[in-house]
Amino acid sequence: MAHDEINLTLNVWRQSALNRKGGYKQYKVRVNTHMSFLEMLDVLNEQLISSKDADGPVAFEHDCREGICGACSLVINGRPHGPMQGTTTCQLHMRHFKEGEVIYIEPYRAKAFPVMKDLVVDRSSFDRIIQSGGYISVNTGGTPDGNAIPVEKDQSETAMDAAACIGCGACVAACPNAAAMLFTSAKVSHLALLPQGQVESQTRVKRMVAQMDKEGFGLCSNVGACEAECPKEISIDNIARMNRNYFGAILSSND
């Protein structure tokens, strides 16, 4: 065996369709340590196709493979996106695993993220949260007009830190309550911190929190696992900020 190749045992969650019973299936693969985790799954799928495996290739999501889109969401050995801090699944490389290691690969587990097939979950609940209020309807004009509004450096940087959220759902998968507070608060914060977004900040936070609850996500109990497993290291300070904005909006509401 080449020095840069390792043999692995994969226990992969296989589920044929929504609401069907699933379970782990075990596979053996030999891969190059320079591969990414998704490239390793590509190798597995080529193997399954060649052998005409009865279950077919493993269904999993991916798009950019550059840690930007958040589509590559998997739970690897019990951790969303795997063992590396601040790293998405597609950025995880096989050099972080050892010869003969056993790896468990499963989809995100949450009521609001139903498993569609194998490792693919439906995360459209996140889309509906954003649609409920995660936008700015104020006409700010063209780019020069928007840039003419003074924003303090610390404020803009905090807003951009929140905007780094890629909506992968790792926070939900990591939370024992399957809460979506980190995701929702990041989307609320990055708009509310900027002057263009403050005009409708109260209606936004109420609508987004209401939609989050409607989708069936759990309640936040300040465990902090969401921040620890977030590949973009979004701070839980955003949750505190959203809670303040929400209660302020409720107290000042005329509804």
Task: Evaluate whether 180 touches 171 at the Cβ level (below 8 Å).
Answer: yes
Task: Evaluate whether 186 touches 162 at the Cβ level (below 8 Å).
Answer: yes
Q: Is 110 exposed, middle or buried (0-12, 13-18, 19+ CB in 10 A)?
A: buried
Q: Where is average pLDDT lowest: 65-69, 136-140, 159-163, 235-239?
A: 136-140
5-117: CATH homologous superfamily?
Answer: Beta-grasp domain (3.10.20.30)
Could you report the per-residue pLDDT of 17-27, keeping only the tens digit for each?
A: 999 999 999 99
Could you report the per-residue pLDDT of 105-147, keeping only the tens digit for each?
A: 999 999 999 999 999 999 999 999 999 998 888 776 776 666 6
Report the residue count for the chain: 255
DSSP state of 59: P
DSSP state of 232: T
Task: Evaluate whether 118 touches 98 at the Cβ level (below 8 Å).
Answer: no
Q: Decide whether 5-117 matches 124-251 in CATH topology.
A: no
Dmax over CA atoms of the chain, in Å, equals 71
As a whole-number percent, the residues of the chain with pLDDT over 90 amount to 87
As a whole-number percent, the residues of the chain with pLDDT over 70 amount to 96
Could you report the per-residue pLDDT of 218-252, keeping only the tens digit for each?
A: 999 999 999 999 999 999 999 999 999 999 999 98
For the record, the structure tokens of 16 come out as: 């044929």
Task: Evaluate whether 70 touches 58 at the Cβ level (below 8 Å).
Answer: no
Adjacent-strand bridge partners of 148: none
**Confidence (pLDDT) at 3:** 72
- Per domain, the residue ranges of the chain are 5-117, 124-251
The C-alpha atoms of residue 9 and residue 25 are separated, in whole angstroms, by 10
In sign, the C-alpha dihedral spanning 209, 215, 221, 227 is negative
Q: Is the pLDDT of residue 1 over 60?
A: no
**Confidence (pLDDT) at 146:** 62
Mean pLDDT of 11-38: 97
**Confidence (pLDDT) at 2:** 60
Mean pLDDT of the chain: 94
Instruction: Tell me the CATH number of domain 124-251, given options 3.30.70.270, 1.10.10.10, 1.10.1060.10, 3.40.47.10.
Output: 1.10.1060.10
The C-alpha atoms of residue 182 and residue 238 are separated, in whole angstroms, by 7
For the record, the structure tokens of 98 come out as: 């050892």
Mean pLDDT of 193-222: 94
The C-alpha atoms of residue 246 and residue 215 are separated, in whole angstroms, by 18
**Confidence (pLDDT) at 150:** 82
The C-alpha atoms of residue 186 and residue 71 are separated, in whole angstroms, by 18
Confidence of residue 12 (pLDDT cuts 50, 70, 90): very high
Confidence of residue 44 (pLDDT cuts 50, 70, 90): very high
